[in-house]
Structure 1
């Protein structure tokens, strides 16, 4: 069989890749060796930037409400037990002054991974993605024209021929290993055991704290849906021992506790030295393994990988862009993963027991979610002197950053104008005339100051909602300037 893009791996990153590709009209097939999502979810809590991406594809209303979206689960304290004495609170980002800047039209999504994945999978199928569970890729080979994979489901092995392959096949990634792509970072740190259980403990979440470092026991946190997970030292536990540990962590033994499942987790930190080779690209844990943190860098960064790659693959497959555009995937996403790695170890978040903390600068969470900078041939004007991340108001529409959120009308954000092709934000008919020959949609916006523009300026927004180029004022020849900026950024070559 033939497909345009073959995705290997049906976790959050792989399923998101299938979703975003299908939404852009790409013929995509996904194969996943497991029959469904893991009964022991890792990720819980998706930041507002991911919420924006899901809003764009029409999923915002389908996501279940959760207390986690109101901030639960992010605050952490050391305690003698859940009901016992609480000691110091540890902060992910140093407490900042209250700001009246609204960064996004959406909020984070507090849904566990095993509930998020089916939502993404169903939407991808609805949009035309061919998702094949219980199907394993046995081997693959690439040539100048595409990739040939041998896969097997319930029956005999068969071949799939694809133009491109997206490997979202986990932190051990057989695809990455076959390509010989090495990794850099802290590497293996430790192994933990876990027990997932259900118990009526909502009354202990009223103050907004949802993570507890329990003295002499382990780490206790909630999924916000009645389920909790207790992380323990790595050894074998009998069920009575697990119950004893749970009761010790809770601080009482008179509750009905249902043990759902157990797990064994390898905690490591590494970033692939290349995010692609030829017609094969890495995404999610295959590209970067980042320890669980309150920055939400694991699943969220993987979903954003998929989003960045999807529009570029779609543009190349339709002939709108040259294949050189795909080189910008590594140039843009790998530095973000490396920055996330640094941010995890620059903080006191439970991982520095394995080594020295990173003494690099800390970036505010809103800067990491909404204000990372892309430097690549698909961006004009993002020089090496700029910081890797800042708050959106500090960027003020800088090329290489996510286009800012401003309300256009009640219920409609500037972000709702983007992601369906190239857009020119301006408020002058001369720019409208300049955009027409390029098949770039002109969108007049009154609040140009949020984009760092004068009343005569313009910003060129890419299909992923990032600023590719801007003219802060009206140039002598706006048509020529815009055409050159569009030609360069859409091709990914200078």
Structure 2
């Protein structure tokens, strides 16, 4: 061993150690949501974030209906909605310049107006408004300004080496598991040597945060984003503030960003934007080749980087940790076998591929709309009347993807109908968006855009009202839920091995759930159906044995 290596070994051996059940790397929406979910399960965690504070940039703009369902269970939905835009902002508009008329428009499904398939509505809000609410949802430790620089897996733990941004003494943390939510350029994914599949970098982009009085062109026709050929404009907060975003110009260091924004506003607008902040970033498009490496699991952008077009990326990360955290809790609290964690990759990676595919199709849609308008302007065919833009109404048709996901794994007892919309694309399929492409977008990406509720195993439990303001989704929590119109035949106590609650299901809901008068649905803590019995239990021990099969744990006393 060299002197340098020996010195490094002695140095690392002298680092102070701390213990935690789960080390969360990354303080974005996925990491913060994971922290809140684990706290609800009573699982100790430590979150580290290399930046010294939450990001001040708006970044993601849409919290979709499924994420709001998850936040409802955390008691956060009302607070998030209170700081968000009014529902009429749940729309995108295409214009030649901001102060010009719309030539196309599309509503955001589940945001513009309530949908009967959910007890909540998605919202338009900036990520820098969402993250403080998520941070306040738990009181477990958080270390800002602390980055991860090394990982060593042992037989029963992972040892992570941490360092502050300003140097000084490092820290070594021993965790039972590591949840890596450290972004598209994930340090953890790089340290583990996990590859990715997909187009990769799609180009450099810039976000310019600015102040200006734009109400005269937007107040009567609000939108979450206005797309123009010169870049896009988005309102940041209900009380004011705006952002421009578009491809980074070649001479970015010398760019006159006020002039760039003015071009998007349009000639004669008479407004001089006041630039507040500028951020350059890279749009990525890939899915990690695996979401688990031993005791380390990837989530959010570390697992899948999705183009921003359509608002799918951040929400997919929230769904990731919702799927993962109950499994981590089961393993750490002893009622699930560690093999249950294998189902995280099995269930979520196909969803990531489907999400990437639809986001790429969205990018092609937007490129087609703008390309056609460019051509109309060039030939003098453009006028103030709305243009017929094929497929634009499907831009935010995502309920089938976010509510209709079907999980297939050993954590689901197969039923007669486990069909669903999630199928990963072929590895060699070209999914790179091409704004100049004049062919139709990938129709297969939208083949399952519509959501049809079903109570088949693997599907999200359909939303049905159980009483005033109480949904079937509200009975799911830090436990398995048995929904049945007749609890008596199912009252066999499975013992202390698994958290379980039995919930009466009104008889008027038996039909939609495919149940007879004594049937039952077993719903996982993440709200997905684990098993369905249309008729009475086939044996006294069926519930216990099913839970043992799903979690890989042996029943107590067996």
Query: What TM-score do the two structures reach when normalised by structure 1?
Result: 0.89
Where do 5+ consecutive residues of structure 1 fail to align? Answer: 354-360
From the superposition, tell whether residues 210 and 112 of structure 1 become closer, same or farther in structure 2 (CA, over 3 Å).
closer
Structure 2 residue corresponding to 1:108, chosen from 122, 132, 138 = 122
2-structure distance, mates of 1:41, 1:209: 16
Q: What's 1:261 paired with?
A: 277
Q: Deviations over 1:221-274 (max 9, x none)?
A: 223432222123323347882212222212354346331211112112100010
- Is 2:290 the counterpart of 1:228? no
CA separation of 1:240/1:41 partners in 2, compared to 1, >3 Å: closer, same or farther?
same
Change (3 A) 1:222 1:90: same
CA deviations on 1:78-102 (whole Å, 9 max, x unpaired) are x221112432336788x9xx99961
Distance 1:23 1:247, change over 3 A: same
1:26 to 2:43 alignment: yes
Instruction: Specify whether residues 335 and 245 from structure 1 end up closer, same or farther in structure 2 by C-alpha distance, changes over 3 A only.
Output: same
Give me the whole-angstrom Cα distance separating, in 1, the residues matched to 2:224 and 2:294: 44
- 1:75 corresponds in structure 2 to 92
Taking a change above 3 Å as real, the CA distance of residues 385 and 400 of structure 1, as seen in their structure-2 partners, is: closer
CA distance in 2, matches of 1:8, 1:100: 35
Change (3 A) 1:50 1:349: same
Which residue among 414, 419, 426 is the counterpart of 2:484?
A: 426
Q: Deviations over 1:34-73 (max 9, x none)?
A: 1112222210120121111111112123225256351525
Q: 2:141 aligns with which of 121, 130, 138?
A: 130
Matches within 5 A, 1:121-200: 121-125=135-139, 129-153=140-164, 155-200=168-213
Shift of 1:2: 0.4
For 1:399, the equivalent position in structure 2 comes to 457
CA separation of 1:175/1:165 partners in 2, compared to 1, >3 Å: closer, same or farther?
same
What residue in structure 1 maps to residue 295 of structure 2? Answer: 279
* Unaligned residue ranges in structure 2 (runs of 5+): 1-17, 370-393, 423-447
Report the secondary structure of 2:483's partner residue: strand
CA distance in 1, matches of 2:365, 2:303: 22
Q: Which residue does the alignment assign to 1:357?
A: none
Q: Which residue of 2 aligns with 1:413?
A: 471
Contact 1:370 1:392 in 2 (8 A): no
Q: Tell me the equivalent position of 2:336.
A: 321
CA distance in 2, matches of 1:149, 1:406: 44
Post-superposition Cα deviations, 1:349-385, rounded to whole Å, max 9, x if no partner, equal 43689xxxxxxx9994211121111111100116897
Aligned partner of 1:15 among 20, 24, 32: 32
Number of residue pairs the alignment of both structures matches: 476
- The answer as to whether partners of 1:221 and 1:229 remain within 8 angstroms in 2 is yes
Rounded Cα–Cα distance in structure 1 between residues aligned with 2:26 and 2:418: 37
Partner of residue 440, structure 1: 500
How large is the RMSD of aligned CA atoms in angstroms?
Answer: 2.8
Hey, what's the Cα distance between the residues in 2 that align with 1:69 and 1:109? 8
Match in the other structure for 1:461: 523
Secondary structure (helix, strand or coil) at the match of 1:19 reads helix
1:391 and 1:472 mapped to 2: Cα distance?
28
- 1:310 matched residue in structure 2: 325
Distance in 1 between the 2:114 and 2:351 partners?
A: 27
Cα distance change, pair 369–205 in 1 and its aligned pair in 2 (3 A):
farther
* Cα distance, 1:124 vs structure 2: 2.0
Shift of 1:436: 5.0
What's the TM-score, normalizing by structure 2? 0.79
CA distance in 2, matches of 1:12, 1:100: 24
Q: Deviations over 1:319-354 (max 9, x none)?
A: 01000110000011111100001112234443689x
Distance, in Å, in 1 between the alignment partners of 2:102 and 2:147 is 47
Question: For the structure 1 residues 392 and 240, does the alpha-carbon distance in structure 2 shift closer, same or farther, using more than 3 Å as the test?
Answer: closer
Q: Pick closer, same or farther for the CA change 1:130–1:439 going to 2, 3 Å.
A: closer
Quote the Cα distance in structure 2 between the aligned partners of 1:112 and 1:323.
37
CA distance, structure 2, for counterparts of residue 337 and residue 72 of structure 1: 27
Cα separation, 2, equivalents of 1:385 and 1:243:
53
